[in-house]
Structure 1
Amino acid sequence: MSQTKTILILGGSYGGVATAHYLLKHVIPSLPQKETYKIVLVSTSSHFFCRPTSPRALTSEDAFPKDKLFVPLTKAFSQYDSGCIQLVTGTALRLDHINRTVSVCISADSAEQKIDYHALIIATGATATSPLFGLFGGHTKTEEAWVEVRKQLPDTKTIVIAGGGPTGVETAGELGQYLNGRGGLFGGSSSINKTAITIVTRSSQILPDLPLPLAQKAEAQLAKLGVSVIKNRKIIGVTPPDAGAIAKDDSDLMHITDSVEITLDNEKSIKADLYIPATGVSPNTAFIDKVLLDGEGYVNVDSTLRVKNGAGPRVYAIGHVSSSQPRAIHAIMNQTPVLCENLKLDLLAGEGQNGSGYRELAPETKKSQLVVIGGGGVGVAFGWKIPGFPVWLIKGRDYWLGMTPGMWNGKQFEKAG
């Protein structure tokens, strides 16, 4: 029997799941020695998570059906023969790109396992500061963080949100609508705001990737929901220091406190009952040699999505962990066929067939960003401004939850791209 060639995928979110489906549907079946290939997908979570839903999901248990927010990866890949793909719940500890192995800590027993690979796809994504907006290992930690916040909301009088990007703005809008009234596109300003909500941003405007008039429109919509904005200010201290983040004690839960003090760079301080950091993400690349990373810590890829700087043959990266821009879910859907078709040529070359026609990812020259604010929102799509009602209609109804099944079950890639 021929030796098994492992295609190792690190990451069980959008990039990892998408590439696994594409390879299983279109690449491996087309290879002359298809029976020799096996996909091993390593994920820190046993479940796929629809991350865009977080700003609304954290407000109420009834916001979305739980079974649609978190889907077992076993369900996502149940359509394939078990011999084609192996799912491993664990965390990548070290990538040895010289000897082409990855050391993984297996979650079930904390044992370390070394996995050799014939091809490698790095799709480990990026991690937010707060577990409210992403996975920290198993999906239950995010659920627990939501539960803790929901418990506190009824008695919360003041909320401070750090970060004026889409996540911070959408979270402020959802909390404002949930606690203070409808507002947004169709409602007027609340006569009585039960909860004072404040966004603090170091930028001169919220939503810095959007034109100033749209940012101003967003700020006006937020005001109707009882949300104020402090601009051009940096948060330099938070007491207690782990407020809003994963606690450093044995509880391993989000640290919620009844009294949080936020210090700004103008020496003023704000007290809040609830503090939510929404200040961006960090790439999950601690297990990778820095020679393969760019200056910001992202995996350095070229236009074919191959990892540069001596990573070795058949090594790719996709999604929020890579240096490819923009870092967005819709971009992953565009990246997937490029990566997988290029890897197909590499695999054919490994079988002695000369491949040609490698694809390059076309740069996205026109921005697309939709931001939901209560019953309205602001945004641009491929450079065109989108009115508030279409933003709500396209994204605001369910934060893409209805579109997510096609991504985790592979129907998004029924046809080769």
Structure 2
Amino acid sequence: MEPNTKTILILGGSYAGISTAHYILKHVIPTLPNKDDYRVAFVSSSSHFFCRPTSPRALVSETAFPKEKSLFVPLTEAFDQYTSPSITLYHATVIKLDHLARIVTIIPANEGTADINLKYHALIIATGVTAESPLMGLRGDHRNTIEAWTLFRKKLSSAKSIVITGGGPTGVETAGELGQYLNGTAGGKPNVSITLVTRSRRLLPYFPLSVSQKAEAQLSKLGVSVIKDKSVEKVISINFDAVDTAGKSLERLTDTVVVHLSDDETLQADLYIPATGVSPNTGFLHRQLLDNEGYVNVNSSSLRVESAGPRVYALGHVCSSTPRAIHAIMKQAPVVGENLKQGLLSAEDKVKDGEAAYRVYEPESTITQLVVIGKKGVGMALGWRVPSFFVWLIKGRDYWLGMTPPMWNGRQFTKSLQLAIR
């Protein structure tokens, strides 16, 4: 980049990063007095955007989705609408943020390439989270996810027992998809034993009890047994004598295991899927920028990382703001964009800090969550319970895949949004 260029650096190539990049390119930089001085640098460990919610269905079969609906989209295609050099893409992994020097260090994906130090004028942290299982999202490049699905499907054809741990949406949807695929037409005794284990007293504990019970009943009809109020003490791979690594890496993804529960009960499984949670991708950040759970600590209204210096923001699943959901990101991205604009104008002395019209992020106070279970499902929208056919109609047909293009191609942000001003 040119010596005098002011770099707006975006870390993370999923929903939060790509949405914010589009908003900045469409509605922030074009409105600045010295717009030609600004460039966007976009860093992603994957060369492709991935529709992550599709994972529970995509892992069961290569034909789970029509071929014309791609689960993975090249980032170059997502940003080809902008004239060069508006944005520079880096297929790389972030290894360090020096927030005092305002420099980010990255390792390019091409082997043998030297580390790159990127100095930024503004920074957006949108690095997301990593699931315990490589089946459930990106781990580096998208080819790793495809390889994980390929390995799993190969073993699935001969598996007679499957254990899934985690009673949240991911665990329930995965159990439902496997139950539908393997047992949905059995009409009696299941073809494959599928067991879902949760340490909670019921599935989907943030839902009303009646909704949780409905989810369990729907799973039961698909041959899924549910074990509640028991935690997993350890998981041992039978053939490799490995403890607690089964299902968590490509090497141990399809191990036959023995799952030890908290009451000394054991379950043997040909396939084991841990779906008990996620870890924020914040290992490159200084501890003082994080909350007690390891998420980026942001001002809940502005989404600014106040301890990282001026013009630094975080959004999406990696930050402390809740709920951590895609629909929340669609509200967060414009807030970050508009607040960044005010910060950039202030830095140019075009507005005084006291006069800047900063936007307020107002998260939903009611539950909005749809959980697909085979060809049915349970859920709530804005705090109201919704029927199974609604869950299938809105989410169950393709797990949001048909609604994803406006997010990665930027059409979601054709217009700037009118937001609350504080």
TM-score for the superposition, normalised by structure 1: 0.95
The equivalent residue for 2:240 is none
- 2:54 maps to 53
1:41 match: 42
Match of 2:176 in 1: 173
TM-superposed deviation, 1:267: 1.3
Of 223, 244, 248, 2:247 maps to: 244
Equivalent positions of 1:14-93 (< 5 A) are 14-65=15-66, 68-93=70-95
Are 1:287 and 2:259 matched, yes or no? no
- Report Cα offsets for 1:368-398 as digits up to 9, x if no partner: 0100001110000000000000000000000
The CA deviation string for residues 117-167 of structure 1, in whole angstroms up to 9 with x for no partner, is 000000000000111111110001110111111111121111000101000
Asked if 1 retains the 8 angstrom alpha-carbon contact of 2:152 and 2:253, the reply is no
1:219 aligns with 2:219: no
Equivalent residues of 1:190, 1:226 under 8 A apart: no
Q: Does 1:366 align with 2:373?
A: no
**What stretches of structure 1 move > 4 A for 4+ residues in a row?**
none
Distance 2:181 2:413 in 1: 37
Counterpart CA distance in 1 for 2:189 and 2:77 is: 46
> Bigger shift: 348-357 or 221-230?
348-357
Q: Tell me the SS of whatever aligns to 1:349.
A: helix
Indicate the residue corresponding to 1:230 in structure 2.
227
The change in CA–CA distance for 1:342 and 1:137 in structure 2 (over 3 A counts) is same
Task: Provide the rounded CA distance (Å) in 1 between the counterparts of 2:85 and 2:375.
Answer: 47
SS of equivalent residue, structure 1 residue 86: strand
Query: Aligned equivalents of 1:142 and 1:2: distance in 2?
Result: 38
- SS of 2:246's equivalent? coil
Q: How does 1:186-205 map to 2 (within 5 A)?
A: 190-205=187-202
Deviation at 1:65, TM superposition (A): 4.0
Paired residue for 1:138?
Answer: 141
% identical aligned pairs: 60
Q: Secondary structure at 2:127's aligned position in 1? A: coil
The aligned counterpart of 1:306 is 304
Contact 1:190 1:225 in 2 (8 A): no
Amino acid at match of 2:362: A
| Partner amino acid, structure 2, of 1:26 | H
User: 1:344 offset after TM fit, Å?
Assistant: 0.4
Alignment partners' CA distance in 1, 2:110 and 2:3: 31
Structure 2 distance, partners of 1:152, 1:393, is 31
Question: How far apart, in 2, do the equivalents of 1:2 and 1:153 lie?
Answer: 54
* RMSD of Structure 2 on Structure 1 (CA): 1.2
2:338 to 338, 341, 358: 341
Aligned pair partner of 2:153 in 146, 150, 154: 150
* 1:278-336 deviation line (CA, Å, top 9, x unaligned): 1110000000000000000000001100003x210000001000000000000000101
Task: Show CA shifts across 1:40-97 (max 9, x none).
Answer: 0000000000000000000110112456100000000000012000000111111000
Residue of structure 2 in register with 1:160 after alignment:
163
Structure 1 stretches lacking a partner, 5+ long:
183-188, 248-252
- Would the alpha carbon gap of residues 176 and 139 (structure 1) be closer, same or farther in structure 2, given more than 3 Å must change? same
Matched to 1:136, the amino acid is R
Is residue 399 of structure 2 the alignment partner of residue 399 of structure 1?
yes
CA contact (8 A) 1:122 1:317 kept: yes
Counterpart residue number, 2:106: 104
Describe the SS at the equivalent of 1:276.
strand
- Contact (CA 8 Å) 2:41, 2:88: kept in 1 or not? yes
Equivalent residues of 2:108, 2:114 under 8 A apart? yes
Q: CA deviation at 1:363?
A: 3.0
Q: How far apart are the structure 2 equivalents of 1:65 and 1:77?
A: 24
Report SS of the residue matched to 1:68.
coil
Helix, strand or coil at the partner of 2:329: helix
In 1, the alpha carbon distance for the partners of 2:253 and 2:379 equals 33
Partner deviation per Cα, 1:230-249 (whole Å, 9 max, x = no partner)? 001000100123211114xx
Task: Verify the 8 A CA contact 2:328 2:363 in the aligned structure 1.
Answer: no
8 Å contact from structure 1 (residues 100, 116) kept in 2:
yes
The AA in structure 1 aligned to 2:145 is: T
Q: Which residue of 2 aligns with 1:186?
A: none
Q: How many residues align?
A: 404
Residue 155 of structure 1 aligns to a residue whose secondary structure is coil
Give the deviation of 1:254 after TM superposition: 5.2
Compute the displacement of 1:2 (Å): 7.6
Aligned to 1:376: 376
Greater shift, 262-271 or 8-17, is seen at: 262-271
Query: Are the equivalent residues in 2 in contact too, given 1:101–1:114 (CA < 8 A)?
Result: yes
How far apart, in 1, do the equivalents of 2:252 and 2:204 lie? 26
CA distance in 2, matches of 1:36, 1:343: 15
SS at match of 2:57: helix
Task: Give the Cα–Cα distance (whole angstroms) in 1 for the partners of residues 64 and 253 of structure 2.
Answer: 23
Q: Do 1:379 and 1:385's aligned partners in 2 also have CA atoms closer than 8 Å?
A: yes
1:116 counterpart = 2:114: no
- CA distance in structure 2 between the partners assigned to 1:99 and 1:264 by the alignment: 48
Counterpart for residue 420 of structure 2: none
Partner residue, 1:185 = none
Distance 2:360 2:199 in 1: 36
Question: Matched residue of 1:22: which SS?
Answer: helix
* Paired position in structure 2 for 1:95: 97
SS in 1 for 2:308: coil
Deviations 1:201-230, CA, capped at 9 Å, x for gaps: 010111112111100000000000000110
- Deviation sequence 1:21-55 (CA, Å, 0-9, x none): 00001110000000000000000000000000000
Offset at residue 255 of structure 1 (A) = 2.6
